[in-house]
Amino acid sequence: MSEVLVLVDHVDGAVRKTTAEMLTAARRLGEPSAVFVGQGYAAAKDDLARYGAATVYLAEDAVFTDHLVAPVAELLAELVSRTSPAAVLIASTNDGKEVAGRLAIKTGSGIVTDAVDVQQVDGGVGTTQSVFAGNYTVTTTVTKGTPVVTVKPNSIAAEEAPATPSEESVWVEVSEGARAARVTARAEKEKSDRPSLTEAAIVVSGGRGTAGDFGPVEAFADALGAAVGASRAAVDAGWYPHSHQVGQTGVSVSPQLYVAAGISGAIQHRAGMQTSKTIVAVNKDEEAPIFELVDFGIVGDLFTVLPQATDTVQQSKG
């Protein structure tokens, strides 16, 4: 059975959920080999084994993390030529997509980004993407080279398949060109107790209707164990950090439940949330386009509706 390379998405060894999702998808195509780049493997080891990595390639040298994207692409190109994998799966993050783009050029391979599903099909690897702000579903087959696919977080249900991976340190002589962009500082962002936006099962977002007060949005999010998002209008107004922006130029989310509070539902916002399984909206304006998308909508003031919903949820939890 062919190997399938999975580039592990992690922060200092804390494996992100996407990695388990990619290992699950990889098992449909062949035998998953995890490629772990950077420090912290000890913390990641159990997770990779639990989701079925048969092999782990370890690239712990600082050269791979001290420079932007290019050295990792060179490493993967080397592994592709060595192992002739059935596919390479990479998380659809900014870094991940750029690694994929460079790898596709280096290896003369077809690339698909933001896949929400990956399957074995006649003639190779088939993917599904959601495009035009989620209004269209596109299926694609890679027809040349080693399929390079970036997988959108929260799209494929992770399933455990315990394995005992063999471990192998790998090394590639990184070219001078790939070392040209240097990461000279890396500041960790303030850690929040809330789940991360792309991984959360529930997201509660606030928009213009909050008038700058995200209190009720955060309180409802906490009652549900949810991540907090914001519309572009709220971010541009300086009410919430850009890292929480849901939409075309922010984060694209696909949770089980998406709650839009005081968000009209402009196309820029829909692009980032339309594939959510269940959508709920609270908005004073009954004409707001967001109501076209909802499973349940309330025409009302978020400052009364959300606190009441928060109280009711908390009471039911006892």
Partner 1 sequence: MNIVVCVKYVPDAQGDRAFEADHTTDREAVDGLLSELDEYAVEEALKIVEAGEGEVTVLTMGPEDAATAVKKSLQMGADKGVHVLDDAIAGSDSVATSLILAEAIRKIGDVDLVLTGLASTDGVMSVVPAMLAERLGMPQVTFASELTVEDGSVTIRRDNEAFSETVEASLPAVVSVTDQINEPRYPSFKGIMAAKKKPVETWGLADLGVDVAHVGLGASWTMVTDTQARPPREAGQVVTDEGQGGEALAQFLADRRLA
Nearest distance, CB of residue 290 and partner 1, angstroms: 10
| List 157, 164, 185, 318, residue binding partner 1 (CB under 8 A) | 185
The amino acid present at 268, given as its one-letter code, is Q
Nearest distance, CB of residue 308 and partner 1, angstroms: 2
Nearest distance, CB of residue 54 and partner 1, angstroms: 27
Binding track, positions 77-116, relative to partner 1; x by CB under 8 A: ----------------xxx-xxxxxx-xxx-xxxxxxx--
The yes or no reply on residue 222 touching partner 1 (CB under 8 A) is: no
The yes or no reply on residue 294 touching partner 1 (CB under 8 A) is: yes
**Distance set, CA 117 to CA 21, 54, 111, 208, 211 (Å):** 10, 22, 14, 34, 38
Nearest distance, CB of residue 278 and partner 1, angstroms: 6
Q: Which is nearer to partner 1, 23 or 221 (CB)?
A: 221
The yes or no reply on residue 171 touching partner 1 (CB under 8 A) is: no
CA gap 277, 286 in Å, rounded: 22
Q: Which of residues 144-163 bind partner 1 (CB under 8 A)?
A: 144-145
- Residue 234 phi/psi, 5-degree rounding, is -70, -35
| List 2, 84, 166, 249, residue binding partner 1 (CB under 8 A) | 249
| List 62, 84, 215, 267, residue binding partner 1 (CB under 8 A) | 267
Read off the tokens for 273.
């949330």
| List 8, 79, 202, 230, residue binding partner 1 (CB under 8 A) | 202
Instruction: Measure the N-to-C terminal CA separation of the chain; round to a whole number of Å.
Output: 52
Q: Which of residues 39-78 bind partner 1 (CB under 8 A)?
A: 68-70, 73
Q: Which is nearer to partner 1, 164 or 184 (CB)?
A: 184
Cβ pair 210, 233 in contact under 8 A:
no
Stretch that binds partner 1, among 29-37, 41-49, 80-88, 270-278 (CB under 8 A): 270-278
CA gap 111, 104 in Å, rounded: 6
Q: Which of residues 111-140 bind partner 1 (CB under 8 A)?
A: 111-114, 126, 130-140
CA gap 141, 118 in Å, rounded: 10
The amino acid present at 184, given as its one-letter code, is T
Q: Which is nearer to partner 1, 88 or 111 (CB)?
A: 111
The yes or no reply on residue 184 touching partner 1 (CB under 8 A) is: yes
CA gap 37, 72 in Å, rounded: 8
Residue linked to tokens 């990695």: 19
Cβ pair 39, 10 in contact under 8 A:
no
Nearest distance, CB of residue 169 and partner 1, angstroms: 25
Size of the site for partner 1 (CB under 8 A): 96
> In which element (H, E) is residue 35 found?
strand 31-37
> In which element (H, E) is residue 229 found?
strand 227-230
